[in-house]
Chain A
Amino acid sequence: MSLLAIEGLSVSFRRYRSPVRQVGVKCVSDISLDVYPGEVLALFGASGAGKSLLAHAVMGLLPQNAIVGGVMRFEGRLLDRKEQARMAGSRIALIPQSVSHLDPLATVGQQLRWAARRARRPMASAGDMQRTLARFDLEPGVSRAFPHMLSGGMARRIMLAMTTVCQADLIIADEPSNGLDAENTAIVFRWLKSFAEAGKSVIVISHDLAATLQIADRVIILRDGYVAAHEHADAFDGDGKRLLAPYARSVWKALPQNGFAEVEA
């Protein structure tokens, strides 16, 4: 059974054209997808294609003026507002895009303890903290650091640590390679892959196709708010003949290592 199932998800925003005329601006329409335990699903798309909106819809983090349609299920149970509030931060974890999502006024250690407490798995001892940090090659002293003292790679590893202290089953990583060099990207991706190998489900949202393909099992390509392609990761190979959707092929061929070629889709 799929861990997360999304059927016909749509997201639109209420906006005022004039003081009395309200219009709905549709941003995501009719997205259906399933994520299974033990797999990495890549969600790829140009900026503005609706990738992050989808993640925020799953987490229940959309702003007040959003209208959400469709059905989401987690372990077969309807994922409504109430269920989202129960699951977010405990069974479902989001690794946000940037360091600015960490609390600037709290130390790393405090924030890790909060994450653990939110998931109702509080950290009992200083040893717990040290072990958590050590898993991600972080010195024990890092727990006393404030977010602005961290490099981008360290901050990303701390956010990974937060998802492990809450032992979530579904991990959504929003642009995990943004702002990281190749070495740190590889470290973060290796961790995400290891979560899947341990039986969890991982959704990686990224515009960096080449990097994501190294760990993804399946790839969903969003374009202007709808699903433009649904491919197996190993079909992104050679000249892309095994790709089903023309748009997937044109994205693949546009990569510099694949010829920078122009293919109409």
Chain B
Amino acid sequence: MTNAISKALFLLGGALFLSVEDVQGLQAALSIRSKASVVDSRSALLAASVASLPNTNSNSNSTSADNGEIEFPPPLTGFQRTKRAIEFYKRALPVLAAYKAKEVELQFRRSALGENIPDWEENQIWAEMDEWGSTRIAETIQEMKGFYVKTGQVISTRVDLFPEAYTSKLQELQDGLEPMPYELVEKVVRQELLDGAPLSELFATFDKEPLGAASIAQVHKATLLDGRVVAVKLQRPNVEPKLLGDVANLKRISKALAKSLPVDYYTVL
């Protein structure tokens, strides 16, 4: 069980290698964006070609917004990606360490002190650990967003692999997501579909409350001028750079691991 959790956390972090590697190249990463752009030059181009809006992304310290017109933040730089990986590990490693410590403690009590720990007591100890650990991990994922949310969702569906505390806590990520405020929704739709013109040029009505909000997009009900009832799905402006950055991190880790794994999985990608 402990094993399954450490694997999952390891996977979620996906970038310890990256942090080491990128700290060496930190200067380079700071001065040029090209590193991240190589990962997805297409999205860099796209990001550079769209116009801007303030307050979309509170934690993007984008250096490339010098024309002041970028609404959708550009891809994360190597430095930002490293920061994300470090941030995750800073919060996930204590959980891992606590599990390991508990394991060692139990072993010690058994072998050195000759204690006989009954199954029920051990199960209870692990249940408590799971409760505590899953709360911390769910919080971390909630705040970090990006690919971590997606991975968390996948874990939440695998009740066969992970302890119940984890699957149920992560299940909440499935639908308990904070939607974008309506002001932002309106700006995104106007910019993407209307060239900045007001919504009334296209929609007779537009519901302010979303029908649903997920990690990548949310959906609003609306009526077109001709009366057709439609669903408008719109992407969160700050999701793309985080997601692509996390996926890039993940690929790098599997590439780095390729040598130590029996099968070279990176070639499969």
Pairing of A with B? no
